[in-house]
Amino acid sequence: MNQKPRILVTNDDGIYAPGIYALYQVMKELGEAYVVAPDSERSAVGHAITLSDPLRVQEFEKNGAFFGWAVNGTPADCVKLAIKAILPSPPDLIVSGINQGSNTATNVIYSGTVSAATEGTIIGIPSIAFSLTTFKKIDFSTSAKIAKIIAEQVLEHGLPEGTLLNVNIPPVEFPEIKGIKVTRQGKTRFEESFEKRIDPMHRTYYWLGGTKLILDSEEDVDDVAIMNNYVSVTPLQYDMTDYKALEGLRKWRWKL
């Protein structure tokens, strides 16, 4: 690539989040970076898009300078709107994150961070989702450094059509990271429970809670790589067809 690559930066924690600021700083070192992100937190929005409300875009400042565009929509909305209405021309790369909290295993399907990268991939642009696997306050310098390394690789190699990368980074200092592992999506899931409470108006409400059920042990699984202090890089695609099940189902009595 002779020209500087154009990079779209988005997230689901919102344009105020420290993770997107850290990601933007390193993307600026790789090319022309543009931030288009939700105006507030949209975590666990899944692959939502906004159909029935108008989308609004506002210029957003940080430290007294223009930082990016804030959109009253989801991460997928931001990607669509950036490409079709905000940026002067389509980007060469889309990066989403750095999310605070892991997007591994079954959590992938709830992830707004991943959905932005999926949206980019559907449109035909190489896209990467980055998550730091902790909810604790931590600085993003290590994960930003890693994001830069992985983005460089993608700018160099490109990605196969229909493939996005889902990157999860363990919450440790750079020297403690053992390396980068290409992984597959695990089966770990939350066993949910609801805590029932009564509000001051005597109405019942519920809080979602739960415990993580680790259901994998193979080293090439996303959560296992993270536990072993590896950066997990999972190629994802969005054809959800269960090809294994097709033949069996075709044998059922499908009579009307």
Q: Which residues ranging from 123 to 152 are in contact with a copy of itself (CB under 8 A)?
A: 146, 149
Helix (H, G, I), strand (E, B) or coil at 64: coil
In the complex, least distance from residue 8 CB atom to a copy of itself, rounded to whole angstroms: 15
Residues 90, 153, 171, 214: which binds a copy of itself (CB under 8 A)? 153
CA distances from 255 to 156, 218, 247, 250 (A): 52, 43, 17, 12
For residue 18, state whether it binds a copy of itself (rule: CB under 8 A): no
* Closest of 37, 35, 31 to residue 11, by C-alpha: 37
Residue 64 Cβ vs a copy of itself, minimum distance, rounded to whole Å: 24
- Contact status: 59 vs a copy of itself (CB under 8 A): no
Window of 3-11, 14-22, 132-140, 237-245 that interacts with a copy of itself by CB under 8 A: 237-245
* DSSP assigned state of 5: P
Closest distance between a copy of itself and the C-beta of residue 65, in Å? Answer: 22
Is the Cβ–Cβ distance between 209 and 193 less than 8 Å? yes
Determine the Cα–Cα distance for residues 113 and 130; give it in Å rounded to an integer: 7
Q: Is 157 in the site for a copy of itself (CB under 8 A)?
A: yes
User: Is 168 near a copy of itself (CB under 8 A)?
Assistant: no
- 72 to 101: interface string for a copy of itself, x by CB under 8 A: --x-xx--xx--xx----------------
Position 184 contacts a copy of itself (CB under 8 A): yes
Q: Could you give the CA distance from residue 57 to residue 69 in angstroms, rounded to a whole number?
A: 6
- Residue 163 as a binder of a copy of itself (CB under 8 A): the answer is yes
Instruction: Note whether 100 and 129 are within 8 A (CB).
Output: no
Specify the 3-state DSSP secondary structure of 145: helix
Residue 62 parent element (H or E): strand 57-62
- What number of residues does the chain have? 256
Find the shortest distance in angstroms from Cβ 195 to a copy of itself. Answer: 9
- Binding segment for a copy of itself (CB under 8 A), chosen from 61-69, 89-97, 128-136, 233-241, is 233-241
Pick the binder of a copy of itself from 18, 57, 134, 138 (CB under 8 A): 57
- What is the Cα–Cα distance from 93 to 7, expressed in whole angstroms? 5
Query: Residue 198, interface with a copy of itself (CB under 8 A)?
Result: no
Say which residues have a Cβ less than 8 Å from residue 212's Cβ, sequence separation at least 6: 188, 189, 190, 191
Per CB under 8 A, the segment of 3-11, 22-30, 52-60, 89-97 that binds a copy of itself is 52-60
Residue 110 in contact with a copy of itself, rule: CB under 8 A: yes
| Helix (H) or strand (E) run with residue 42 in it | none
- Shortest distance (Å) from residue 42 CB to a copy of itself: 9
Q: Which stretch binds a copy of itself (CB under 8 A): 2-10, 18-26, 132-140, 159-167?
A: 159-167
Which pair of structure tokens corresponds to residue 141? 């310098």
